[in-house]
Chains A and B, each alone.
Chain A
Amino acid sequence: MTYQHALVNYLETYRKKHRLTIDAFIEDVTSQRSYYRYIELTQDLPMDVLLAFTSKYDFDLKELLDFLSDTPDVEFYLAKIRRFKRLKRHQYIDSYVHTIKDYVTEDQEYFLQSMLRDEDPLTCFQQYFKTDLIDELIQRYESGKHQPLILEYMIDLGATYLLENELVLLKKVTDFLDTIRKQSSDRYLDYPATLFLAHIHKENKQLMINFMLSHISLHLFFNDQESFKSYIEKMNLQFQLDFPSFFIEIIVKNFT
């Protein structure tokens, strides 16, 4: 189905559902004769007419197109697969694979199979994007392409730089993730970002504690593999602090 076909189908369904006559529906947008030609696909829909409809009926065009699209957003699902692999919530992965299996390109198929075989995620990403340069990845993100997948790549890069104590590179990744998470409703991003931020701000104790309290709390919800008890013991040891006492301090302050 072409865009025009999908769009006019949508417009017609909307019109009928709202019991609008064609005249009322197209008022101030186009002529009746032209409208019939668009819905019969005998005339191309001009862009300004399309935009006039979306504006008149308060449709967001991107949302509308996503809704109408028959094809799944393959990279969105690949990113979800990587995320749920990381979270070890394997039960969802099969359905994502099933959703995209008929639509993947050769490169995507290779990336998917490597991930499913639990190969090193950074190698999978590097082969797919042909780069591991942070600036280049940010530039691609800003161009509007590969966004969900680049986010997951950045999270994996950050975790690696943290492990290798590459603080300059970690800061670059963290700055990017911190900006994106503030503009996003994707709250999972807070989980890795707050850990990276805590390490970068180790010198500023109060700031570091705030990031760690956030990170440790999110660990409860985002990690099914390692218990809260075991994780908090590890973090207490790593930072030489008693994080539970800070939780209590804040609750006591607010509830007495």
Chain B
Amino acid sequence: MTTENWLYDIETLRIERKINQALFLKEIVSDRQYRRYLNGESTPTLTIFLKLLERLNYTLPTFLTYLETKKMKHNQQFDQLRFAMIDFDYTTSKVLIKDIKSMQLSNDQIETLRLYETLIDFYEKLGQNEQLDKTRVENILNETNVLSLLNHTYYSSSTFSLVNLLMNKIFNLLDQEKQQRFLSFYLDFIEDRKFVLDGDTLENKQMVYSYYVSAIYGRSYISEAETKKGGQLIKDAILLTKETLMSYNLMALNYLNSSMCYLHHLNEDAKKSLFYTFMSVFGTGNSEGILPSFKLAFSQVTTSQVILKDFKDELKRHLEKDTYYQEEVLSYNDLSTCAG
């Protein structure tokens, strides 16, 4: 990101719109000075830059959106890769990585590709050797510097997403002290000590709730107070989706609710949430990629036979009776009965 590049984009837009240069610069800056800006011999002030943008009918945020959109077109495959990684769809991820490697990439993109490859490799070898798994987690922590990222106050959404992606992939293998650091990280957002700068405030709140709850229930030891708080936040976060429309979060939240209910033998709520978990998996369009992870995850709390039966029963219920999701959520158990 340099001023010179931005001015070049401004100049391209001016030419595209066939605006006469003298008219474009009138009462803002001289032709000569403008050429010096374009050649990188001088830098405009913020005021001049904003005036030039105004002549093109842009504000700074809309101009930056224009640049982002332009960049996005070039980075379409990279975005697909990001979503495939979030979906645990490593087969697609590997194909995309191979394609992307033949493209011209920025240093940041090269770094991200390297991280994705490390995570894929990590997952493919996971469980073969417990000691080795721990060493590789340490390597990921060192390479990504993620623990030092946890100490900031302000986060851009891309940095926040990076922390979330890593937390999701390696959390269970961290020692108690490091798990606690992730928990404190999310709690700091909930209690307004940390902030995500961009994006929709409500969506950010929902993500923080979801990741905090995942972090609570991802540990081997959960206190009574945490069980209660986590349960309440699950319900709050699910209710928030009525406005945020974040269906991926529903998948994670319903899974957490379901597995906690199975664990505590709250079978009616467990199977309701199980059904909604799977329906949100279908919603992604990648059920084949995601379901194996859930098979593994649910095996900790119940059997495949129970899952099959509960899913079929629930589907039957929804096909025989008029049901409405938001109404059902209101009557969810908030897990507070599990405390203790």
Contact = CB atoms under 8 A, between A and B. Distances in A.
Interface stretch (B58-66, B128-136, B217-225): B58-66
Contact of A47 (B46, B158, B318): B46
A224 B282 contact: no
A163 interface: no
Interface string B38-56: 0000011111111000000
Contacts of B186: none
Contacts of B148: none
A62 interface: yes
A143 B13 CA distance: 10
Interface in A118-143: 141-143
Given A89-B243, A229-B320, A224 B65 contact: no
A46 B45 CA distance: 4
Interface stretch (A105-113, A168-176, A179-187): A179-187
Contact of A144 (B69, B158, B284): B69
A227 B60 contact: no
B1 interface: yes
A214 B282 contact: yes
B291 A250 contact: yes
A63 B157 contact: yes
A102 interface: no
B307 interface: yes
A69 B312 CA distance: 50
Nearest to A225: B324
A47 B47 CA distance: 9
B285 A211 contact: yes
A228 B318 contact: yes
B61 A230 contact: no
A145 interface: yes
A237 interface: no
Contacts of A51: 1-3
Interface of B: 1-3, 6, 43-50, 58, 60-70, 72-73, 76, 79-80, 83, 153-154, 156-159, 197-199, 241-243, 245-248, 250, 276, 278-285, 287-288, 291-292, 295, 304, 307-308, 311-312, 315, 318-326
9 contacts: A44-B46, A54-B1, A63-B156, A63-B198, A142-B70, A186-B245, A247-B282, A250-B288, A251-B311
Interface of A: 3-4, 7, 14, 17-18, 44-48, 50-51, 54-55, 58-67, 69, 73, 83, 89, 92, 141-145, 147, 179, 182-183, 186-188, 190, 194, 210-211, 213-214, 216-218, 220-222, 224, 227-230, 232, 244, 247-248, 250-252, 254-256
User: 3 smallest A-B Cβ distances: which pairs?
Assistant: A144-B66, A63-B198, A44-B45
